Amino acid sequence: MIGTVKLRQLRAYQAVMASGSVSAAAEALNLTQPAISKQLAALEQALGLQLFHRRKGGPMTPTREGVAYFKAIESVLDGVGSLQDIARDIAEHARPRLRIAATPPLINSRSLMDSLRHFRAENPTAKLALEPRHRTEIEDWVVSGQVDIALALLPVEHPGLTAVPLIETRAVAVLPKSHILSRAPHLRAADLRGHSLILPSRQPLRMRMEPFLEDAQGRIPVDIESSSAITCCRLVAAGMGVTISDPFSPTAFSSTDIKVVEWRPEVPLTYGALIRKDRHPDTMVERLLTQIKRRFLGDSALREDRVSGR
């Protein structure tokens, strides 16, 4: 049976996980080491979990359950740490705060940075909190209320979410500038035969690409995988192969290092905002969405001239 978890226990737990030792946590919290150990033991008892391995004369290390629990509540702990800031904002005439999550391709894109810059220029008193999250977990962040809005590849699967389409685009091929295929106006699966192919793993984009990765000889082998399209583009910039990407990730890299060309057949991609169904977009969210539409649609890096290489 789970007992009562107290804030001071969670603070001690967070400090140990962040610093890596009881002694460092004690120093950070201005407490004694026995006091920290007592709080950790009380937390374990309340949760019914063993969070740390304890060896006499040796360091205390987190168990598998201890690591999993920390990852699960990390955002909650960060929120607790912001309680004083939130109170200060309220005291300072209720300064608005907008919490935004976005997938790595979008959060690293020039277009989103331009959107946020113009949004802040129009709303100088607004505070922004930006969270990078993978597509596989971003829906849960919105549903649980940890963010006000998320930006990601559509469609959404959770029934508690509303999707607001923002950008219609398509997948592109990304090559090193010096690659033998970089002069081609477009690429197909057959063109990649014999070349190193880099693709994201466990991402919706990968699932969209799967049907188009075959030629007359069969399936095109994938040589390198990464958890994000951004890393795939970074590997391309290092000269390690070719990737099929969303059009946003390449904008984080210099055009002197990579070349972006069309992918055939076209793989349409729709990106949009994810909002909880029981929360209607407020004025701040509407203003942000307006800036995002304007900046992404106006970005020459995403238009036909850049993608085709003309």
List, for residues 101-133, the tens digit of each pLDDT value: 999 889 888 889 999 999 999 999 888 999 999
Predicted confidence at residue 309, as pLDDT, reads 42
Q: What is the pTM of this model?
A: 0.65
Mean pLDDT of 175-203: 94
Summarised one tens digit per residue, pLDDT across range 62-82 is 999 988 888 888 777 766 666
Looking at residue 76, its pLDDT comes to 73
Structural domains of the chain in order of their starting residue, each with its CATH number: 7-81 (1.10.10.10), 97-310 (3.40.190.290)
CA distance linking residue 43 with residue 63, whole number of Å: 14
What was the pLDDT predicted at 280? 74
**Residue 310: per-residue pLDDT:** 34
- Asked whether residue 186 carries a pLDDT value surpassing 50, the answer given is yes
